[in-house]
Amino acid sequence: MPKVAFWQGNVAIAQGALAAGCRFFGGYPITPSSEIAETMAEELPKLGGKFIQMEDEIGGIAAAIGASISGVKAMTATSGPGFSLKQENLGFAYIAEIPLVVVDVMRGGPSTGLPTKVSQQDVMQARWGTHGDHGTIAYVPSSIKEMYELTVKAFNMAERFRQPVLVLGDEIIGHMREKVLVEDGLEIVNRKRPVVAPDEFVPYKADPSDDVPFMAGFGEGYRWHATGLTHNDWGFPTNNAADIEKKMLRLMRKVDRFRDDIVEYDTYEADDAEVLIVSYGSVSRSALRAVHEMRQQGMKVGHFRPITIWPFPDKELGAYASRVKKIIVPELNCGQMVTEVERAVHGKCPVYSKGLVNGELFKPSEIIAAVKEVA
C-alpha cells in the first residue's frame, strides 16, 4: 500500500537513499541541501548506518568513497560551492569505479553566489566538472515523488555500473513540500560481488556481459588497490598503451552500451505541437502551467522534459525536432542545456534559448511571453 506523505524535496531524497539501502552519509551541510544531511543524521543510526559530518565538502565525498569501497551503499549531498570542491574526488570515484550517489541541490553561482535562491547553473559542471573522460549519469527530478524515486534509481545505477551517479535537484524542488504517494516495492539493485575465491580474484577484470568488474568489499580478504592513476586489471598504475586504452574505453563503454536503459524523459501535449518547450527540473513545473494555459488559448504548444540530462535524450528529442516548427529552452542559467538540445535537433528546426539568472523561478507568464515572442 502506498503511504501518503507531505515531504520536503530534500527529505524525499534522504528517504529515497534509505529505501535504496544507503547506510553511509559523509558530508558537510550547505544551503539549500542541508535537510538531506539532517535527515540522514537522524535516520541512519536507527538503521545501523553511519552519518559523519566531515571538516568540509572534500572530506564528505572522501568518506563516502571510503565507505563504498568497504562495501556499504554511500552518498554525499551538497550545493554548487561544495560540488566544485568535490570534483577532484568525483574523478577519483570514476576511475577507481566506486559506486556512489552525489546530490547537488543547485543554487545561484558562481562561487558562494545565492545560498537561498534557485538556479540550474551546474548542469554542465555535472558532465565535465571533473577532468578526464568518463560516462556521466545525472537525474533532474521535477517533483517530490521524483526526488524520492530517482534517488532510489541513482543508487541502483551507481551499484550496477560501479560509478558515481548524480542527482541534480534545485533550490525550488529541494525546499518545497508536496503531497506524495510513496510506492513501496521499488526495484533495488546491489553491486556484483566476486564469484571466485580470493586468490583467483582480479579486481578490475570486467565481466564481458556488461563491462563492469565484480566488486569486493575492502577487508573481506580480496585484493584491493584503489588509485586515481590509470590502472590495469590488477588495479596497479600502468603506462602500457594497450592497458590504458582498454581501461578508458571500458569506462566509457560500460555506460554507453546501456544508454537506452538509463535515458528517461517525459512529454506533455507534444504530439501535435508546433512549438516545443524543452525544460527540466523546477522549470518544467512553470512550463507545464504555461503549456496548459496556451492550449486553452488554442496554441499548439507541447513540452519535452529530460529526466536524465546525462545521458541526454538526444535521439528521442531529435524525433520531435522534425515534427515541430520551433523549440524553445527556458532554463535557470544563461543557456547551458540548450547546446545539447541543438546537438540533438541537428538543424532540423530553429532552437531558441531563454535564460533566467535573477535567482527566481520562471513564472508561467514569462514562459508564455517567451514562446509568443518566437512563435
Q: Which residues bind other proteins (CB under 8 A)?
A: 4-6, 31, 115-116, 172, 175-179, 282, 285-286, 288-289, 292, 361, 363-365
Q: CB of 38: closest distance to other proteins in angstroms?
A: 15
Q: CB of 352: closest distance to other proteins in angstroms?
A: 21
Cβ closest to other proteins, residue 289 vs residue 348:
289
Q: CB of 292: closest distance to other proteins in angstroms?
A: 7
Peptide bond into 164 cis (omega under 30): no
Cβ closest to other proteins, residue 159 vs residue 331:
331
Cβ closest to other proteins, residue 239 vs residue 297:
297
Cβ closest to other proteins, residue 62 vs residue 361:
361
Cβ closest to other proteins, residue 177 vs residue 348:
177
Phi and psi at residue 291, in whole multiples of 5°? -60, -45
Q: Record the cell numbers describing residue 342, joined without a space.
A: 541543438
Nearest by Cα to 75 from 141, 9, 129, 155: 155
Q: CB of 117: closest distance to other proteins in angstroms?
A: 8
CA distance 10 to 7: 8
Cβ closest to other proteins, residue 114 vs residue 262:
114
Q: CB of 60: closest distance to other proteins in angstroms?
A: 21
Using DSSP, state whether 31 is helix, strand or coil. coil
Q: CB of 16: closest distance to other proteins in angstroms?
A: 18
Phi-psi map region of 156: left, alpha, beta (phi>0 left; psi -120 to 50 alpha): alpha
Peptide bond into 110 cis (omega under 30): yes
Residue 358 to residues 176, 240, 306, 315, Cα–Cα distance (Å) = 19, 50, 23, 32
Q: CB of 133: closest distance to other proteins in angstroms?
A: 37
Phi-psi map region of 162: left, alpha, beta (phi>0 left; psi -120 to 50 alpha): left
Cβ closest to other proteins, residue 76 vs residue 282:
282
Q: Is 368 exposed, middle or buried (0-12, 13-18, 19+ CB in 10 A)?
A: buried
- Euclidean distance between the first and the last CA atom of the chain, given in angstroms as a whole number: 46
